[in-house]
Chain A
Amino acid sequence: DQQVKQNSPSLSVQEGRISILNCDYTNSMFDYFLWYKKYPAEGPTFLISISSIKDKNEDGRFTVFLNKSAKHLSLHIVPSQPGDSAVYFCAASGNSGTYKYIFGTGTRLKVLA
């Protein structure tokens, strides 16, 4: 049972344009959501997070939007840069006592120069 889904395995965007990565979840108990970026041969790097009490959080070029009624979150990167090319994972956690993260399968973003 895949509780966190990233339905687009890959995305290509021109440099300078907006990248939008999407993530859907099924468990309404999730209350904390994160995005990580992963380069080959490295561990995931934390990008941005959002609590379920908010619907938007910004950090520089990165903005995460949360739509609780649709159980959907998205990551916007503006403007996209070639260095943003990586695999992006969304993750969710809830108050289950362990605060384990449930990850999606990732979206490979390629920013074209």
Chain B
Amino acid sequence: DAGVTQSPTHLIKTRGQQVTLRCSPISGHKSVSWYQQVLGQGPQFIFQYYEKEERGRGNFPDRFSARQFPNYSSELNVNALLLGDSALYLCASSSTSGGETQYFGPGTRLLVL
């Protein structure tokens, strides 16, 4: 079975630009979570979506937004990019929004110049 997939794998943007990252969950999983991992730190929670509804939001500015589609895939959008947004963006899926194990994709590495 295919795991969590993310696209693109790498991305280079300049300050002020906007970026869209995509995630497809494991087949049958209805919940998608997004995390940001900067160098030397653990992943930090950005959003969780379940059945197309936002179930949780981390301590990130409004420049970060996300949505989930009827097929449970998800997009993360970041507007007005800052240098500090350079990070590995991870998507994780789980079967429900409850206390179930989340499985991570390979991530999208974003570099903001």
Contacts and interface: CB of A to CB of B under 8 A. Distances in A.
Contact of B102 (A42, A101, A106): A101
B103 to A, nearest CB: 6
B104 A89 contact: no
A37 B26 CA distance: 19
Interface of A: 4, 31-32, 34, 36, 41-46, 49, 89, 91, 93, 95-106
Interface of B: 4, 6, 33, 35, 40-45, 48, 55-58, 90, 92, 94, 97-107
A97 B55 contact: yes
A46 B105 CA distance: 11
A100 B107 contact: no
A100 to B, nearest CB: 4
Given A36-B104, A43-B106, A43-B107, A99 B42 contact: no
Contacts of B43: 44, 89, 101, 103
